[in-house]
């Protein structure tokens, strides 16, 4: 059965081609029209204010937070994350590092710092605004995740295993949708995240303003919602697995030019 099928589908695919290429062109036009005037800028502005605002029991700002390039360096910091941090003895991504700084610098409890990871209708949170501001400060710079420390290498390897892990009632793995070239889900192109070129394009386009939700979504949210749609249980915010998978994807994007926050469907 499997063997005779392709020839038949080829014919159908050829007939569909003319109409399809037109659809793809129009979707491109749609994306281009939104590119000019990205509401993520509203988050970036709010995030910068929160970064500098004295908050928490210690009434301190986050301005002395070490995001990987030294205390207080925001410019380019996102391009080296995730990264091993000596002070916390952990591999941390941006969101995890912000939680660490909210605890050490501002005196929040870890629970308080992690309480509102994602915004929603009528609910503005500090985290995604901070993420928008900090990532925007890496725009135009090249991804350069080191992954040399043994814990970084281990995180990468574990992240790779997670990427191919099939589970849940639908048998989905990340690789189900993101392990093959040139495929689409509905009209959205699916990057093959095991390949450098696609991984670069995809990773460097997050965070993004999602027009379907009217929110800026961080990379932690991207993974959280992918696993929801994979029918897995809930991925915990800044959990070790989320950081390992981010390490795998971020490192695969090395050399790509960071270009976010972007705007997406």
Interface of this chain with another protein, residues 142 to 181, rule: CB under 8 A: 144-148, 153, 156-158, 160-162, 164-173, 175-177, 179-180
Q: At closest approach, how far in Å is the CB of 94 from another protein?
A: 17
> Interaction with another protein in 36-55: which residues (CB under 8 A)?
36-39, 41-42, 45-46
The answer to whether the CB of 242 falls within 8 A of the CB of 236 is yes
Question: Tokens 């800026």 belong to which residue?
Answer: 216
**Burial environment of residue 174 by CB neighbours within 10 A (0 to 12, 13 to 18, 19 or more):** buried
Q: Which of 139, 151, 195, 265 binds another protein (CB under 8 A)?
A: 265
The answer to whether the CB of 85 falls within 8 A of the CB of 144 is no
Catalytic, out of 101, 174, 177, 226: 226
232 binds another protein (CB under 8 A): yes
27 binds another protein (CB under 8 A): yes
Q: Which of 18, 86, 122, 140 binds another protein (CB under 8 A)?
A: 122
135 binds another protein (CB under 8 A): no
18 binds another protein (CB under 8 A): no
195 binds another protein (CB under 8 A): no
# of chain residues touching another protein (CB under 8 A): 88
3 binds another protein (CB under 8 A): no
- Reading phi first (left if > 0) and then psi (alpha if -120 to 50, else beta), residue 130 is in alpha
| Long-range Cβ contact pairs of 119-122 (< 8 A, separation 24 or more) | 119/215, 119/216, 120/215, 121/214
> Interaction with another protein in 56-115: which residues (CB under 8 A)?
none
Q: Which of 131, 132, 134, 244 binds another protein (CB under 8 A)?
A: 244
Output 134 or 235, the one with its CB closest to another protein: 235
The 3-state DSSP class for residue 60 equals strand
Output 97 or 222, the one with its CB closest to another protein: 222
Q: At closest approach, how far in Å is the CB of 132 from another protein?
A: 12
Strands 215-217 and 83-85: unpaired
**Secondary structure in 3-state letters for 76-129:** CHHHHCCEEECCCCEEECHHHHHHHHHHHCCCCCHHHHHCCCCCECCECCHHHH
Catalytic residue flag (residue 226): yes
Q: At closest approach, how far in Å is the CB of 148 from another protein?
A: 5
Output 200 or 251, the one with its CB closest to another protein: 251
How far the first Cα of the chain sits from its last, in Å, is 37
Tell me which residues are annotated as active site: 226
């Amino acid at each position: 059965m499997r063997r005779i099928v392709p020839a038949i589908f080829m014919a159908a695919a050829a007939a569909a081609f003319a109409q399809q290429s037109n659809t793809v062109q129009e979707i491109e036009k749609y994306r281009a029209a939104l590119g000019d005037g990205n509401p993520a800028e509203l988050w970036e502005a709010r995030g910068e204010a929160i970064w500098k605002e004295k908050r928490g029991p210690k009434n301190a700002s986050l301005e002395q937070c070490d995001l990987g390039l030294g205390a207080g360096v925001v410019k380019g910091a996102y391009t080296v994350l995730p990264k091993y941090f000596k002070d916390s003895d952990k591999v941390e991504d941006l969101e995890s590092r912000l939680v660490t700084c909210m605890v050490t610098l501002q005196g929040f409890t870890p629970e308080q710092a992690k309480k509102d990871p994602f915004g929603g209708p009528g609910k503005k949170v500090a985290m995604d605004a901070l993420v928008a501001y900090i990532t925007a400060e890496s725009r135009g710079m090249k991804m350069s995740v080191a992954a040399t420390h043994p814990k970084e290498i281990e995180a990468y390897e574990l992240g790779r295993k997670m990427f191919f892990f099939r589970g849940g009632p639908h048998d989905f793995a990340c690789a189900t949708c993101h392990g093959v070239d040139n495929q689409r889900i509905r009209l959205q192109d699916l990057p093959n995240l095991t390949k450098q070129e696609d991984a670069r394009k995809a990773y460097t386009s997050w965070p993004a303003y999602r027009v379907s939700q009217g929110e800026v979504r961080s990379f932690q949210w991207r993974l959280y919602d992918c696993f929801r749609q994979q029918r897995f249980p809930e991925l915990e915010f800044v959990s070790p697995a989320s950081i390992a998978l981010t390490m795998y994807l971020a490192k695969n994007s090395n050399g790509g030019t960071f270009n976010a926050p972007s705007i997406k469907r």
